[in-house]
A and B are shown apart, each in its own frame.
Chain A
Amino acid sequence: MHIPENYLSPATCAVMTAAMVPVWVHSVKKVKEELPKDKIAMVGVGAAFSFLGMMFNVPLVGGTTGHAVGGTLIALLFGPEAACLGVSIALLLQALIFGDGGILSFGANCFNMAFILPFVGYGVYKLIAGKAAQEGKSGRLYVAAAIGSYVGICLAALACSIEFGIQPMIAHDAAGNALYCPYGLSIAIPAMMIPHMAVAGVIEAVFTVAIYAFVRKTSPDMTYDSIRLANPKVESKKSRTPVFALVAVLIAATPLGLLATGTAWGEWGADEIAEIAETGSPLGYTPKGMLEGFSLDVLMPDYTLGEMNEVVAYILSAIIGTALLVIIFKLLSMALRGKSAKNAA
């Protein structure tokens, strides 16, 4: 699943890296908060473990082998944030030393394998496992680990195939020929998903459960679940992971908006209204209020800053929009907190 150099357009690489920044910042913060000082170097162990895990061939039917990514496993052992950092570092080493995965596409690779894979895998695991860890129901934990790792790797492959698939649409020359990956979504998605759902997902699940079961049996206090259980103050802290995940996904997903040929439903410009065929025949006129009403176009005409490349402009608007939303929500929550503090007094 390592995307090499030049398969993705530079704009896509920039978006994916931008999407990873909030995730990395959050992970560094969380790891510093959550892991005791002597465990910081454990992230290094996690990275080395992830690197070696990708070298490990898992036996398959008929004498063939395949290798796992192990993102969910590392999340189960070290926690999803430490897994994110560990896998990112492993990917960086692979890109720099082994030419495995590109340097520009590093952000995209991290998004798929260091963000989606461990966070989704761990999320699904938690959802299914529930309180099984406290109750000591190992069987349910292993089923949860298997399904979590399977779903995690399949979603990571889906993200990867979407990144590939949008290339012909956002980067092509005047004749319409793709400049980077030449396959559209209709080819990229099945080409990535079928092997991942049939083979790679199974390998991932087997690899994860085999090692997780071993560690739980031989040294049950080493898993992330038990570290959390032993550290109740960590548990009580409100997790902001969903917010960061949402921000990252939003930024990454914005170029998808470029794919829709029309304007989003309900977002027509005044000039477009006349052409809309809501009831079968074009409207044929523009509502008067729209023609004379206040126009926001002056600030950001159609999300585009002047003559700039459409894609870059779209991404910038996405980043600006996300930042504005975060600022508004922060101010709102500060105001609300102030109010409740006053009420309490």
Chain B
Amino acid sequence: MLPEWMTKTEDYAPPKDGGAFYRKTLKSLGGIMKRLKVEGGKEGRFSLPAWLKIILLLGLIILVSVVQDRLIIMACGALVLVRLAMMPAGDIWGVLKTTIFAGVFCAVLVTPAVIMDPARLSNSLRLVLKVMICVTAVGEFNRTTQWNHVTGALRKFHVPGVIIFIMDITFRYIVLLGKLMEELLTAVELRSVGRNDKKYASVGGIMGVTFLRGSEMNKEMYEAMQCRGFTDDYEGL
């Protein structure tokens, strides 16, 4: 004989929860993790040295932002597009996505100004164009340059060793701590069925644990560095 409660059909529906912040955070985290993992940057065999690329990129951005002459802006646009055309299709889409987003965002931003005063149209269009050229140029740069070459180039520009060391560490910690955050978020999401009234506690918990784990990892790394003969000399690293 079955007990009575087993014969009843289960119709428990957990109360709906408005917040979707776990999912949203997981999604944005997943996005950057994917970018960073691929972000080795695929350098071709005949790629220019990174320091030269940085100088060229900076030069282009300064030129585009200073110059108001349409012809020169068009020439810069052409240059950026030709470079883009030489990249593989997957990378082109990746670069273009950011460009389109930046362009649309800028266009929306200047629309009220154009409506208020139609004489501003040509200047506003030029602003949108300039934004798109710069964003595309940066996108091309980071998709064709390896991160370790970027830090190498910074050393060539005499950026202090401590700063470069910190930048490298940051890059690695973003991946490590990002992974930790992904796991924590998934764990919390799986455990919160229905309405979760303690969302703010979990914000503190997830980021707090990430911070504590980060400090722990940092201590371990320093000890490992010392075991390998590190003498507190960051400049010589």
Contacts and interface: CB of A to CB of B under 8 A. Distances in A.
Contacts of A175: 119
A27 B221 CA distance: 23
B27 to A, nearest CB: 9
Contacts of A335: none
Given A28-B160, A178-B123, A207 B203 contact: yes
Q: Is chain A's binding surface mostly helix, strand, loop or mixed?
A: helix
B134 A102 contact: yes
Contacts, number: 213
Contacts of A215: 208, 211-212
A173 B232 CA distance: 54
Interface in B1-43: 18-21, 24-25, 28-29, 32, 35-36, 39
Given A49-B177, A49-B210, A63 B19 contact: yes
A210 B119 contact: no
B127 interface: yes
Interface residues of A, number: 66
B178 interface: yes
A206 B203 contact: yes
A66 B160 CA distance: 36
B44 interface: no
Interface stretch (A32-40, A258-266, A273-281, A317-325): A32-40
Given A41-B218, A48-B169, 13 more contacts: A9-B65, A40-B165, A45-B218, A47-B173, A48-B173, A48-B214, A52-B177, A56-B25, A56-B207, A57-B24, A63-B18, A103-B138, A211-B203
25 contacts: A5-B130, A6-B131, A7-B127, A10-B65, A10-B66, A38-B218, A41-B166, A43-B166, A49-B210, A52-B210, A55-B29, A55-B32, A56-B203, A57-B28, A58-B21, A63-B18, A65-B24, A65-B25, A85-B166, A96-B142, A103-B57, A103-B138, A178-B123, A180-B127, A222-B211
Interface of B: 18-21, 24-25, 28-29, 32, 35-36, 39, 57-58, 61-62, 64-66, 68, 98, 102, 105-106, 110, 113, 117, 119-120, 123-124, 127, 130-131, 134-135, 138-139, 141-142, 150, 160, 162-163, 165-171, 173-174, 176-178, 181, 199-201, 203-212, 214-215, 217-219, 221-222, 232, 234
The 10 closest A-B pairs by CB, nearest first: A44-B169, A63-B18, A214-B208, A210-B204, A48-B173, A214-B204, A182-B113, A5-B134, A47-B170, A45-B214
